[in-house]
Amino acid sequence: MTQQLTELRVSVGGIEHQRRAIESQREPIAARVRDLHERMEICASEITSYKAKIEQFRVEIRESEQKIAELAGAREKSQQHIGGLQHQRGEVATGIRTGRGRTARHPQTGQRRAGAEIGL
């Protein structure tokens, strides 16, 4: 019985030692948990801020894509206009080449005149 009592005291002493060791770690662990919660709140705030920035960038991208499409349309229209002007210039040049040496009548007076008076 004495041996059992001694074993029990040793066991209780070991348990008490473990309890004190755990108790001494409680505050540092609690401080670490508080620190992690603070960091988590900061990260959540940063994530919210980044999400807002991402949405702002998406809006800017859509606006830029719209402007690019508008500029492409304007460029196409300008190229068509330039093509039309080049075609007209070609027709005028052809008319001048074929009209040289012929006589033409003046639209108001009806008098004959030689050559063309159109210049490029």
What pLDDT, on the 0 to 100 scale, is given for residue 102? Answer: 54
Whole-number pLDDT of residue 119: 47
pTM: 0.50
CA separation for the pair 47, 55 (Å, rounded): 12
pLDDT, tens digit (0-9, with 9 covering 90-100), for 99-119: 665 555 556 666 655 554 544
Question: Above 90 in pLDDT, residue 47?
Answer: yes
Q: How far apart are CA 17 and CA 89, in angstroms?
A: 104
Q: Where are the domains of the chain?
A: 9-96
**Residue (of 94, 113, 111, 92) closest to 102 by Cα position:** 113
Distance between CA atoms of 90 and 82, rounded to whole angstroms? 12
For residues 35-59, average pLDDT:
98
